[in-house]
Amino acid sequence: MSGSTAPKIMFASVMRERLTRAPGLVAATAFLIVLAATFYAQLEIQAREDEQHAVQHRFARAHIGQSLQTYIDTRFLAVRGIVSQLTMIPGEIRRAEFVSLARRFHENFDGVQAVNWVDHGGVARWIVPLQGNEAVKDRNLGALDLPGRALNAARTDGLPHATAPIALLQKGGGFASYFPVEQDGKLLGFVKVVFCFDDLIGSVAGLARATWSLLRSITVTRSFLSRRMHHRSGWNRYSSTR
């Protein structure tokens, strides 16, 4: 037996003897080992759960962002269809004709707060649906800051313009888009489409309102929606006026 091996064997023998004679020390040592292992396992599980949650949140953000763009594009395309039909009506736009088109749109596309007819002076005349949107009827939107900017921009270049995120007159946060309606170069008015953030994101994500509230608190915020609205490629096909 080598000189270096003998001390190791002697030390192991002494330790076995001491542990055998002191069962309390064995129990205490085992307890500390189990405690340390449990603590380590908890940290490992927490780290894996955090990683899993982070992956889920990244997926949710990406999914909602992609869905949001498609969702808005689809509805704006349908609004352009309303504008095209209104331009083919001879003479002034009549309330019954607008309400019929707006009601069909509102029934077929969820997540839309309201579809309004705004006259060439900027006053909201016809509201679909009126219930829940009474505060908008006969309001001079042109006199308001952000809606007025969007209206003026649409009036100037003949293109659709959206407001930045605003506090809606109906209460809650959202944004509005104004689509000018012209006949032979004459501005007749605007089709205004209003989106409420809660309804919009709830529809895009396919979530109930309670679930959306939880998701919003951990993954999606109004600033995220604002960034998606104004910075995603393709959004400026529908010019935004801040």
pLDDT in tens, 63-77: 566 667 788 888 899
Domains and CATH numbers, the chain: 48-241 (3.30.450.20)
Q: Which of 67-81, 112-126, 160-174, 223-237 is predicted with the least confidence, judged by mean pLDDT? A: 223-237
What is the reported pLDDT for 236?
44
How far apart CA 186 and CA 204 sit, in angstroms, is: 36
What is the reported pLDDT for 232?
43
- What are the backbone dihedrals phi and psi of residue 189, each rounded to the nearest 5 degrees, phi first? 165, -160
Which comes out higher in pLDDT, residue 127 or 184? 127
For residue 235, give the DSSP letter.
G
Which comes out higher in pLDDT, residue 26 or 45? 45
Highest average pLDDT, of 98-107, 190-199, 210-219, comes from 98-107
Average pLDDT over residues 148-159: 94
Average pLDDT over residues 156-167: 91
Q: What is the DSSP pairing of strand 240-241 with strand 161-163?
A: parallel
Tokens of 239: 């010019």
Q: For residue 142, is pLDDT > 50?
A: yes
Q: For residue 230, is pLDDT > 50?
A: no
How far apart CA 217 and CA 221 sit, in angstroms, is: 7
Specify whether the CB–CB gap between 217 and 207 falls below 8 A.
no
Query: To 5 degrees, how large is the angle CA 14–CA 17–CA 20?
Result: 150
